[in-house]
Amino acid sequence: MKGLCVICDKLGPLTRDHVPPRGVAAAEPFLLRRLADLISADSVQDDSPRRGFQSPDFPSLCPECNGKRLGTEFDPALITLASECAAWVRAASDLGLRFQSGIVADIRVGRVIRSVVGHLLAAEERTARFKPPARGTMQEAMRRCFLDTSVAWPTDLHVYCWPYNSSDVVIVRGFGISRVLGRTHGPIVGDVLKFFPLAFWVTQESAAVTGYPLVDLAAFVDTSLDAVKRIELPLQRIPSALWPERPRDQEVILMHRERSYVAKRTRRERAV
């Protein structure tokens, strides 16, 4: 299969990128559905679920962006972080244990956030593979930081992270959420990627108004790609496993049906 790479725009063979990388996904089959169909009674489900194994994949990246940049340079740091967080999330959620502190991890932040950004950019289904996808200012900033690690990370490009305890993989591009009752705010628009044991939300707006202790990993970015930062991810007052794609009573959401996905495991559930 040939086309334009959705990240670097190189014309040539396209490879399938697994979102999230297979190193963090359960080795189990799943059914991939449109998230918008699952959460809305008014949606018209005009396509069948797509069967897959381990994690959803998209034929969207050139070999260099997929194999060299993501697979070799960035994904190992994300896989290490997920592995270190998994036992903590299970203990806090499944066993009901309460910890005085959160998850403390030494993170290669520059590599982790580029892994997250790269896989979100790759999650594109295109009918015209020889045309670049539509891009806004946030997507252009994500591409620039992914392709050139010497570029300073934009101060208005946030990569929020929090513990997530569910076997569902959730991918939502161009997601927006607003609070419409009480102290209103928003919309906060961005891309969401959730897989056990972590959730990520890339946005240009501050998410502090949500009231959740989300950690902005981008705030810890150093000029060195391999700089290690000790970061604490809170285990208390974190969002429900269904948030933000299933809003609270005072919130409303907007999403593009064709750019929202959820992969549900069809065998043993690993988490609630």
Interatomic CA distance for residues 110 and 188, integer angstroms: 23
Q: Which residues pair with 269 in a beta bridge?
A: none
Interatomic CA distance for residues 213 and 199, integer angstroms: 13
Helix axes 75-93 and 109-122, enclosed angle (nearest 10): 90
Interatomic CA distance for residues 81 and 74, integer angstroms: 12
What's the chain's length in residues? Answer: 272
Quick one: pLDDT at residue 20?
97
Quick one: pLDDT at residue 272?
39
Which residue ranges make up each domain of the chain?
2-265
Q: Are the C-beta atoms of 108 and 227 separated by less than 8 Å?
A: yes
Q: Are the C-beta atoms of 49 and 168 separated by less than 8 Å?
A: no
What averages of pLDDT result for each successive group of 10 residues across the chain (272 residues)? 95 97 94 85 64 96 98 98 93 71 94 98 91 91 96 96 96 93 86 97 95 96 93 93 90 89 78 42
